[in-house]
Amino acid sequence: MTGTDTADPTPRDSSRRPLVAILSGAGISTDSGIPDYRGPDGLWRRDPEAEKLVTYEYYMNDPEIRRRSWRMRQDSPALRARPNAAHEAVARLERSGAPVRVITQNVDGLHQLAGVPDRKVLELHGTARTAACTRCHARSPMSEALARVAAGDPDPACAVCGGILKSATVMFGERLDPQVLGTAMGIAEAADVFIAVGTSLQVQPAASLAGVAAEHGARLVIVNAEPTPYDELAAETIRTPIGTALPDLLATLTP
């Protein structure tokens, strides 16, 4: 563990329990068997063409891209994965009574499966566990759409209006939901402790949340194998494996 102490520019209300905000990225889920798509062995590195499968313009305009996307979803490890020790540590902290909010860049739903209430998890990039219509915006379980694919429909349409279905995730070329992003900013501003775990803090606007938290007086802790652009703002940086580092860190915050 390394790090430097930073001044706290914003006085905190000592009468309330400290709010812990956790920003999680792909690195928290690799122990669950979900690859980091941008890592050295990630899908985007191995097959740059694969990015088209999750790029909105290509997806909407090319039926073959959609068919390939549905085949990819059938094989996606995200829908078969189970929470690992890091997810369970976050859920354990929440159950202890500590005020906790999770902001995640992941779409795997593992924080909720570990036991963190859905209302305390903010999914910046949506969820792969739900299918959404691009026309009428009706939503349904992804399992239903995948069952239709398995039954022989290579590009299932919306059962309500016949529109194009996609996963309820933010594809390349789509904007983040401004309401979700605004809520995330509010959490970052209010946090007493802000932990960025398993994220390179290079993808904006999510990465800026770490800076916002530090500027508003939070103790910023970064748990990531590689350096990030926000390390100099951190009170502590941790390079050890997330599966052991995060449980150890969160144990110190348990009431």
* Catalytic annotation, residues: 125
The Cα–Cα gap between 214 and 193 comes to 9
Which tokens belong to 43?
A: 């899908």
Q: Distance between CA atoms of 185 and 120, rounded to whole angstroms? A: 14
Q: For residue 64, give every residue at least 6 positions away whose Cβ sits within 8 Å of its Cβ, in sequence order, or none.
A: none
d(CA 255, CA 251): 9
Q: Can you point out the beta strands (E) in 118-239?
A: 121-123, 126-133, 139-141, 165-169, 193-197, 219-223, 236-238
Q: Which of 228, 243, 220, 195 lies closest to 27 in space, CA to CA?
A: 243
Nearest one of 179, 144, 177, 178 to 159, comparing CA atoms: 144
Per the CB < 8 A criterion, the answer to whether 24 and 104 are in contact is: yes
